[in-house]
Structure 1
Amino acid sequence: MPTAVTSTTDVLNYAHSLLTSHRELLTNVRNSQRAHRRQLRAIATAPNDLVNFPIIDSPAPSPLPSPPSSPQLAHRTRPQRPDLPPAKRARVARYANYVPEEETIRNDYSQRYVDSGEWPQNRVLGAEPSRRFEEYPKQQRLLGLKKESVDAHATPPFFLPFSHLSSLHPQKFDVILLDPPFSSSFSWDDLQALPVPSLAADPSFVFMWVGSGAGEGLERGREVLAKWGYRRCEDVVWVKTNNTTNRGPGTDPPTTSLLTRTKQHCLMGIRGTVRRSTDSWFVHCNVDTDVIIWEGDPADPMRKPPEMYTLIENFCLGTRRLELFGRARSSLRRGWGSMRGLRRVMAVHSWNKDAWEEATRHLASLAGGKAVVPNSQEIDALRPKSPMRPGNSGVSGGVGVGVGISGGVGVGSAGVGMNAGNMNADPNMNMQLSRRPPSQNQMMVSPMMGMGMPMDMGMGMGNMMGMGMGNMGMMGMGNMGVMGIGDMPGRYIPMGRGW
């Protein structure tokens, strides 16, 4: 092991030089002490307490540098550990006290921020959209297919001065994105006065940036959404990084908040009724996450992440998209209209009502009459579906038997039951039931379980709708035939099971 021997020799030489320098320093100190004591003795009244103070003891002589002995070499060449990765095997061979089973590496990102000014989110791996799903080929394929579909079914981009906002009426938009330019001349009251309700379709979505959360943005943003007739349903967060803008510890802009603000909030509101399990023609849920990690634009500090456009397009399939207060350099995007606070815009992308309506009608003809991005079988197979709770079986069949106290028997034919657990798990079940024919709805809302019945109808048989409730039996509903005697009251006893 020539490398290990050479390294050990260098360390010993360095240690010997340090000891030699230390010995020379002590020698100079002792000589200085002797000289001062001779001067003290020359004084007429010598301070005996100082004269009798002991001199610093001389250290033992430093050992001469020598190559490591055979035991040391044997210690450094202890048996290898083939079960360890190469880095740990090297540490085992080099360090005598190294125990690989006890090694623990902890990244103290808070302390790193204190020492270097780097925000912890700088260390998030795969934050870029191009690398986010490298280990998930199906998700990567889904995003690729959706991008191709969105690009192929997009209207030409247009710009329009903000002063001409009223000229968009009576057009309706499926998505409205806002980045309000709050200042001394534009307040929350000015934002609330915008004619957003008249521009919004039903159903539609609003995405509104409301700031870092240090002020009243989150509260006022919810109030504005409610005034416009929207319900807040999500909150998208942009987490900023400072890989390229870090200027060292203590250089973050001063704020009045308790914590360092490194994020921005975008409230998402919904108008109308949209259900994830039945309205896949309009929304695709779970395709993206609600966290965006992006450095920001040094040339435009107020610019928001471009990934927000992709998130909206992946989620809402509506092709009528409008952005209010768009940026001059970055808002030109196919499928989007942008309202800017400029008096003049580029003529080639200015608003043309007839051309936009024609493009919208053409896209609607490709999607069966609706202004949406058409879905494909492959996209539908890859996209995440609504979660189903375990033990819910959906639709089930059942058979019920009615037994009278006086011995009468009523038998209902096998019917269709709905698992009650599934109804609790899926809040959209009420909507699905409301779409049934009126005769079926009437039967579904007339359950009879353990109810007293007059049994003077003789003997009969009828049809029965059953509702399965796991393994707890059934509720009989509808027309049930029973057999009774006289005026004896009867009771329907559930004896079936739902499958």
Structure 2
Amino acid sequence: MPPGYVVANQMPPPEAFCGPGADARNGPKDGRGSRSRERHGRRRRRSREGGKEKKGRRRQDPAREQQDRARYPSRGCGSPPFCPPYGFPMPGMHSVPGPYRLPLVQRSSMADDGVSQQVSEKFLMRNDYCQTFVDTGLRPQNFIRDLDYPNRYSEYPKIERLICLKDTILAKRATPGMSLRAELKNFDLASLGTKFDVILIDPPWSEYQARVSGLYVPHEDLTPWTLDELKDLKIGEIADTQSFCFLWCGESHLEDGRALFKRWGFRRVEDICWVKTNRVAQVDERGRVKQGSVMYGDTSILQRTKEHCVLGVKGTLKRSEDTHFIHANCDTDLIMMEEKEFGSTFKPTELYETIEHFCLGRRRLELFGLDRNMRDGWLTLGRGLTTTNWNKSLYLSWFEGDTMWPEVQDHVGGRLVGSIPEIDALRPKSPDRPCRDRPPEKPRSHDFSGPSAAAREEVDEDERPLPEDLGEAGPPPGKEDEEDATAAPPPPPPNL
């Protein structure tokens, strides 16, 4: 084993629990010279050239002895102190770690200035958040700075100004929140009378019920839906030609989410991850979290502390051209928020802000919503709602016309939010890619379309969707293979 490294689970020797000058079997002594014998196995003798040899033990400096006694109080070896993974007790460390007291791990045998520890007498220590999770149950993501959304961009004035401008416009253009209590298994979504720009879905997956192992959770209906029942929802009929679908998939239903997108006619373009923290979790007298994560089960290999929300798009959208409908790069694909109580299906509210900053369409729909999900600018549908204020004619009147901000500064008129030049100037944009030299295409023997084929619009390779993500909007199976089969064969290689 390299010098300076210790095994994390290795217990320190009995001598480490006793102060200097103590014996591991008989407990601590008054420590007059035993430290020298413990380290070297014999007493040091001065050389004859250095002076007269002294017999007997050499007494330690009284000040040093008093300092050692204060640092290592007299105690037996029956109750060893808490030892972090570096294998020996630190002076002044309590026997039980607190909830936010991080153990230190020696990462290198060199000091921070590049000189060996034997010369510089320094130790290079780093916080070990993984060991903290093992010891206390506190997750490593708890110690990341600026997790709260209002203070996240305090050190980035341009992005902070951008978010402030967008929130101001969104607050004035948001329609009053509406809700409709309905059983979605029997409800006809087409009866709403309009199509939507954004659809947010949090289905009752079987994973939610498996977490609580059949226990009752107040204010939650965890009766799961099957995949076939979710496929029967007519999401594709109420989604506009250019629209987005945000689908919560929990931890173990990502493949089911892809199957639903394929059925509804969406293609997956992003994966938003919610990393759960437990900063405010209750701890016991030993500093450990009382109620641990309920995400892991018998079949999981690792302890799960995250959930996924996949984003699907319908139609063709380019972030560099369709800036009237989408504003990309305003937020990240990572959400870090506190996990709620046991069995709760609560989702972070930051996702609403991410959606509203990204898509400028005002017709937003949420399915399987509860009272806590009601929000201005959204229409919420679900069986768990306790109130209904749905008014079809009033709702449709809010989106008449083609006006937008700054022509109109309230919630009446137009289906787009609108923007101002300052937002476009502050908004992060993708760098311009250099034009790629493409060889001229040779005419194919089966092409009878004439000059119109040359005027066909080219699709950028970086924005071309994957075949498995096209869903029902993709070409029928075998069409691309037939085109490749009927194409002209490549020219033979030159003779060398």
TM over 0.5: yes
Instruction: State yes or no: 1:118 paired with 2:157.
Output: no
Q: Is the 8 A contact 2:159 2:426 kept in 1?
A: yes
For 1:208, the equivalent position in structure 2 comes to 247
Kindly indicate whether residue 350 of structure 2 is the aligned counterpart of residue 307 of structure 1.
Answer: yes
The TM-score, its normalising length taken from structure 2, stands at 0.58
Which one of the candidate residues 229, 238, 254 is aligned to 2:265?
Answer: 229
Partners of 1:128 and 1:383 in 2: CA distance: 21
- Check the 8 A contact 2:398/2:414 in 1, yes or no: no
Deviations 1:404-456 (A, max 9, x none): xxxxxxxxxxxxxxxxxx9767769xxxxxxxxxxxxxxxxxxxxxxxxxxxx
Q: Is 2:197 the counterpart of 1:174?
A: yes
SS in 2 for 1:274: coil
Larger CA deviation: 238-247 vs 313-322: 238-247
What's the CA shift string for 1:2-35, capped at 9, x where partnerless?
A: xxxxxxxxxxxx97999996269xxxxxxxxxxx
- Larger CA Rg, structure 1 vs 2: 1
Alignment of 1:374-389 (within 5 A): 374-389=418-433
Map 1:85-484; keep pairs closer than 5 Å: 99=120, 104-163=124-183, 165-166=187-188, 168-183=191-206, 185-212=224-251, 215=252, 217-245=253-281, 247=283, 248=288, 251-253=292-294, 254-255=296-297, 256-298=299-341, 301-328=344-371, 330-342=372-384, 345-347=386-388, 350-361=389-400, 364=403, 370-389=414-433, 391-392=434-435
**Higher relative contact order, structure no. (Cα contacts within 8 Å, ≥ 6 residues apart):** 2
Cα distance in 1 for partners of 2:377, 2:63 equals 78
Distance in 2 separating the partners of 1:202 and 1:161: 27
C-alpha distance in 1 between matches for 2:227 and 2:63:
79
The letter for the 1-side match of 2:417 is V
Indicate if the aligned counterparts of 1:117 and 1:246 stay in contact, CA closer than 8 A: no
Q: Is the CA contact (8 Å cut-off) linking 1:16 and 1:64 kept in structure 2?
A: no
1:117 positional shift:
1.0
* Alpha-carbon contact 1:16-1:62 (below 8 Å) kept: no
CA spacing shift, 1:97–1:203, aligned 2, 3 Å: same
Q: Do 1:236 and 1:266's aligned partners in 2 also have CA atoms closer than 8 Å?
A: yes
Q: Calculate the TM-score normalised by the size of structure 1.
A: 0.58
- Structure with bigger helix share is 1
Q: C-alpha separation between the residues in 1 aligned to 2:293 and 2:342?
A: 18
- 1:259-297 CA-to-partner distances (Å, cap 9, x unmatched) read 110000001100011111110000011100000000033
| CA positional deviation for 1:190 | 1.2
Q: CA deviation at 1:218?
A: 0.7
Which residue matches 1:410? none
Could you tell me how far apart the structure 1 residues matched to 2:230 and 2:27 are? 77
CA shift, 1:135, in A, is 1.2
Instruction: Between 121-130 and 243-252, report the one with greater CA deviation.
Output: 243-252
- 1:84 aligned partner: none
AA aligned to 1:337 is L
Task: Tell me which residue corresponds to 2:38.
Answer: none
Change (3 A) 1:203 1:424: closer
1:327, distance to aligned residue in structure 2 (A)? 2.3
Q: Is the alpha carbon distance of 1:103 and 1:66 closer, same or farther for their aligned partners in structure 2, counting shifts above 3 Å? A: closer
SS at match of 2:329: coil
User: How many pairs does the alignment contain?
Assistant: 324
Counterpart amino acid of residue 361 in structure 1 = E
Q: Which amino acid aligns with 1:321?
A: R
The structure with more strand, counted as a fraction of residues: 1
Contact kept, 8 Å, 2:197 with 2:361, in 1: the verdict is yes
